[in-house]
Amino acid sequence: EEQLVESGGGLVQSGGSLRLSCAASGFTFSSFDMHWVRQTTGKGLEWVSAVGTASDTYYADFVEGRFTISREDGKNSLFLQMNSLRAEDTGVYYCARVTKWGWYFGLWGRGTLVTVSS
Amino acid sequence: EIVLTQSPATLSLSPGERATLSCRASQSISRFLAWYQQKPGQAPSLLIYDASNRAPGIPARFSGRGSGTDFTLTISSLEPEDFAVYYCQQRSNWPPLTFGGGTKVEIK
């Protein structure tokens, strides 16, 4: 069964850091571009970042250099290092795999909750 | 950035009725639009890609149409499990990929 499982969320103070992880199983992880998508109360679903199979990276403007996406294909894992966190970063962070038809999301994890206290 | 505007925000219907959801893009996105369904406590799930193609395993009562800036998701006859929130997403012009604000389909 294809699966994505996120971890690493939690409660952090404004200005703090968290490192999210996503463990993939049931498919050839190295063959897919991978993304982080978040869901916040204020903005709904927001695309955060992507990493391609060649480790090329892409970020939403609101990241402003604070987050770093990476992947470790040998461990079937995706990461998001988040620094300088703000209250508006509070939300559920999903790991998502693209489809073979393009950058739509055909497989999602259950999400990990990030809460930034001000 | 391409802004996707979904309407209505809430749709109150009864099981068996037809649901028509709209997604409008701030500029042309050709047919590069997907629709997702999200139930409480769950991640979104892909229904439709490239405006009109059903994802594997999606029932035929779900259909999508449109191109350019105007798109529609239709559920021909609502089943109890279809009451959920629906989102559109574009992949035409990125970064960023963008989502609409969602339409909640609730039981009348």
Whether residue A35 contacts residue A47, with contact meaning beta carbons closer than 8 Å, is answered with: yes
Residue partners of A69: CB distance under 8 A and separation at least 6: A36, A49, A50, A51, A57, A59, A78, A79, A80, A81
User: Where does chain B have alpha helices with state H?
Assistant: none
d(CA A39, nearest CA chain B) in Å: 10
Cα B65 to Cα A92: distance, rounded to the nearest angstrom: 30
* A27 inside 8 A of chain B by CB: no
pLDDT greater than 90 at residue B13: yes
- Report the alpha-carbon distance of residue B51 to residue B61 in Å, rounded: 15
CA distance A31 to chain B (A): 19
C-alpha distance from residue B94 to each of A114, B1, B89, B98 (Å)? 25, 8, 11, 8
Mutate to test the interface with A, among B4, B97, B98, B104 (most CBs of A within 10 A): B97
Average pLDDT over residues B39-64: 98
User: Please, which pLDDT band fits residue B93 given cuts at 50, 70 and 90?
Assistant: confident
Q: Residue B106, class by beta-carbon neighbours within 10 Å (0-12 exposed, 13-18 middle, 19+ buried)?
A: exposed
Q: Which two tokens stand for residue A77?
A: 């894992």
- The Cα of B98 is separated from the nearest Cα of chain A by a number of Å equal to 6
Task: Nearest chain A residue to B92 by CA: give it.
Answer: A103
Q: Are B89 and B64 in contact, with CB atoms under 8 Å apart?
A: no
Which residues does chain B have within 8 Å of residue A59's beta carbon, measured at their own beta carbons? Answer: 95
Which chain B positions have a beta carbon within 8 Å of A94's beta carbon?
43
| Residue B91: both structure tokens together | 């992949």
Listed residue (A16, A13, A78, A12) closest to A48, CA to CA: A78
DSSP bridge partners of A102: A99
Question: Is residue A116 pLDDT above 90, yes or no?
Answer: yes
Q: Over the stretch A26-81, which tens digit does the pLDDT of each residue have?
A: 999 999 999 999 999 989 999 999 999 999 999 999 999 999 999 999 999 999 99
Task: Show residues of chain B in contact with A47, CB under 8 Å.
Answer: 94-99
Mean pLDDT confidence for B86-99? 95
Tokens representing B28? 């042309």
